Chain A
C-alpha cells in the first residue's frame, strides 16, 4: 500500500482564470507567494481554511481544487 497523497489542479485553474498569477492567488488567499508555490508543487498541504480560501478564489468547490488519493 502506497503513501496517501493530496493532488491539486491549481496550475490548471490559474490558467483557466485568465492566467491568474501566483501572486494574485496569494493575495486572494491572504498568504505569501511562497506558500502558493509550495502548495501548487504538492510540497505543502494547506489547512482546511486555506484550502477553502483557494477554492473560493477560483469560485469552484473544494474537490475541484484538491483530490485525496489513499495510495491503495
Chain B
C-alpha cells in the first residue's frame, strides 16, 4: 500500500504503460524471431502473434489500468503534466531520430560495404526492415515513458 501512497495516479499509469511495452515487446519479438521468413506458414503464424499481442494488450489494459484507477484517484492533466509530456515527447523524438539514423546507416553499409551475413542475418528483407522500425517505435516509446517517470520523480 506504501507504493500507492508514494506514487500518483499518473506515475502508476506510466509504470503500467512501460511494463505493457516490455511484455508486448518480449512476446512479439520472441515469437517473430522464431518464425522462418518465406515459409508457407509465415503469414498465418505472424497473424497469430499479432492477435496474441492485441489480446494481451486489451486484457492487461482492462485489469491493470482499471485497478490503478480504482486504487488511486484519477486526476485531470494540469500545466505541469503538459510540460512534462512535452519534455518527454522531445526525448522520445530524439531517441527515434537516433534509432532511425542508425538503421539507415546499417542498411546503407550492408548494401555498399559489408555483407549482411557478417551480422548473422541471412537476407535484408522488407519484413526485416519493418521489424527494425517496429523495434525503433517501441524503443522510443520506452524512452518517452522513462523520461516521464524521471521528470515526475525530479519535481517531487
Contacts and interface: CB of A to CB of B under 8 A. Distances in A.
A34 to B, nearest CB: 5
Contacts of A47: 79
B113 interface: no
B41 to A, nearest CB: 50
Size class of the contact patch on chain B? 10 to 19
Interface stretch (A2-10, A11-19, A35-43, A62-70): A35-43
B80 interface: yes
Given A32-B8, A32-B75, A37 B81 contact: no
B156 A32 contact: no
B154 A43 contact: yes
Nearest to A38: B155
Contact of A30 (B8, B10, B78, B154): B78
Nearest to B81: A32
Interface in A33-62: 33-35, 37-38, 41, 43-44, 46-47, 50
Contacts of A33: 8
A30 B81 CA distance: 13
A20 interface: no
In the A-B complex, the 6 residue pairs with the closest CB atoms: A38-B155, A31-B78, A35-B80, A43-B155, A32-B75, A44-B155
Interface of A: 30-35, 37-38, 41, 43-44, 46-47, 50
10 contacts: A32-B75, A34-B80, A35-B80, A35-B81, A37-B156, A38-B155, A43-B154, A46-B79, A47-B79, A50-B79
